[in-house]
Chain A
Amino acid sequence: MKIRKILAITLSVCMMGCAFAGCGSDNAAETSKGDAQNAEDKSSASDDAETKGESKGYVFETGGVEIAVDMDMSTLEDKLGEPVSYFEEPSCAAQGIAKLYTYASYEVDTYPDGDKDLVASIILKDDNVATAEGIDLSMTKADVVEKYGEDYEESEGCIVYAKDGMKLKFILDGENLAAIEYNSSVLD
């Protein structure tokens, strides 16, 4: 009788094991797909934010087009026009393709999210463009602090303002600005 009980328990444990194997949630899928899935989760969050009209962090505006990190690049491509150059960077081991769109004074980099390409970063490269708050590369660290305030993180060669998960990064060359980056949290 006791032995039967033990075997019954064994059988139950095995069945529980099978059930455990089958309890998979979608967001813990095969590791090779894990990153895309994580990105998908983040994207859903960002979509939700957009549909609810919530803030998307700091945004860059050019020619009347607003670009925010985590936006779907397909909604921007036509509005931004033909890039000066375009480059695809497939990641090792087929983990998706990052795309680099270089325009005259700025660059937009994307990250793959399922069948979408979302904006990973926007990089201002010269002083023909400025942030929506009016900072361009001809200005100084002091101008940035005056405009954006003292609530920033400073590390080697840059100061960073965080908002809604994204980061606005001012890269410094001494007291001058060398580049301005809007970065998605996927780059953290």
Chain B
Amino acid sequence: MNRNRKRTAAAVLISVVIIVLALYFLQRLLMPKYMTDVVEGAMVAEYYDEEKDHDVIFIGDCELYENISPVTLWEEYGINSYIRGSAQQLIWQSYYLMEETFTYEKPDVVVFNVLSMKYDEPQKETYNRMTLDGMKWSRSKIADIQASMTEEENFLEYVFPILRYHSRWNELTWDDIKYFWKRDKVTHNGYYMRLDVLPAENVPEGKVLADYKFGENAYYYLDKMVKLCEDNGVELVLVKAPSLYPYWYDEWDEQMVDYAREHNLKYYNFLKVTDEIGLDFNTDTYDAGLHLNLSGAQKLSSYFGKILAEECGLKSRRGEAALEQSWKEKCQDYEEEIERQQKGWE
């Protein structure tokens, strides 16, 4: 009798293990891999493979991960930086990514791009997924999901993504097999490289808005960022990237200038110094002024690196053997990608 019970218990246990494993593998197979068409969904997870000893962490949307090149910051200023970026990253997502980052490391400076202040409520599941699915489970991720979900989403689908992705079975491609276990890197320390050129023409003026004030929720999370950085002894620097569109209103800029002054923060609106940076929107953008291409990103990084070194007091870490070696490899990957993209055109 006792032996029978043990055998039954063992069978039940084996069954549970089989079911859990089957569901796990199925889930892993069905989740989007973001390796070819929409690589932006793979960015957040890449950070975890990094040696976490950065001087600067950039946190924000495409205006950072397409406009700043950490390789340039290293090569010209010896600054070790990383971009924790994702597509349409909303301010509460930036906050929770920042909170999570501080559990791994305390950089000297965190740079936040303020475009996302324009959003006061959750936007689209597609973008939520690109930021949230890549995060490791933590209190920050749970809070981030809760802050980000649209009305149509539910928390359980984030805990068990198979509930969301089960219908992908008829869209599976070879990539889903190829990247079942391991993903390729899609960025260079968070930087998404583009070499192509599409001059900025006919960039529209901003539409008349009913209300130019940033929302309460956006300010709530900006306040939390300030507090979090203060508590962790990290300098928070606000920037507005020199992207020509979406339109950045003077009324918005004034609010950021005021906020920075009231909270003793540095705020740089690079739209106001595009000539000083040397940006030429005939050659330095790949999508008519929305994002910079490599040439533009290198110019902006070169300009901002000087500010980080001189005004934020970041010292060059050139000469640290392990870091030099790590960046040597990264710079090589970077150069290879430049060659790859150039060859792609030929």
Query: Which residues from chain A sit less than 8 Å from chain B, CB to CB?
Result: 2-3, 6-7, 9-10, 13-14, 17-18, 20-26, 28-35, 85-95, 100, 102, 107, 123, 155-158, 169, 171-172, 178-179, 181
Given the complex, which residues of B lie within 8 Å of A29, measured CB to CB? 167-168, 171
Which single member of B34, B40, B168 contacts A92 (CB below 8 Å)?
Answer: B40
Q: How many residue pairs at the A-B interface have CB separations less than 8 Å?
A: 137
A sample of 12 cross-chain residue pairs with beta-carbon separation below 8 angstroms, ordered by A number, consists of A2-B11, A10-B18, A13-B15, A22-B170, A32-B41, A32-B126, A90-B287, A93-B40, A155-B211, A158-B211, A169-B210, A179-B207
Q: Could you tell me if A32 and B8 are in contact, using CB atoms closer than 8 angstroms?
A: no
In whole angstroms, what is the CA distance A32 to B207 when docked? 28
Query: Which residues from chain B sit less than 8 Å from chain A, CB to CB?
Result: 4, 7-8, 11-12, 14-15, 18-19, 22-23, 26, 30, 32, 34, 37-38, 40-41, 61-62, 87-88, 124-127, 129-130, 162, 164-171, 202-204, 207-211, 213, 245-246, 287-288, 290
Q: Could you tell me if A31 and B125 are in contact, using CB atoms closer than 8 angstroms?
A: yes
Residue of A nearest to B15 (CB): A10
In whole angstroms, what is the CA distance A169 to B4 when docked? 73
Tell me how far the C-beta of A138 lies from the nearest C-beta in chain B, rounded to whole angstroms.
15
Given the complex, which residues of B lie within 8 Å of A9, measured CB to CB? 15
In whole angstroms, what is the CA distance A2 to B19 when docked? 18
**Contacts A2-B8, A157-B210, A171-B208 hold; do A30 and B165 have CB atoms under 8 A apart?**
yes
Residue of B nearest to A171 (CB): B210
Given the complex, which residues of B lie within 8 Å of A171, measured CB to CB? 208-210
Tell me how far the C-beta of B217 lies from the nearest C-beta in chain A, rounded to whole angstroms.
15
Which single member of B37, B61, B129, B288 contacts A31 (CB below 8 Å)?
Answer: B129
Q: Could you tell me if A87 and B204 are in contact, using CB atoms closer than 8 angstroms?
A: yes
In whole angstroms, what is the CA distance A31 to B316 when docked? 42
Given the complex, which residues of B lie within 8 Å of A21, measured CB to CB? 26, 30, 162, 166-167, 169
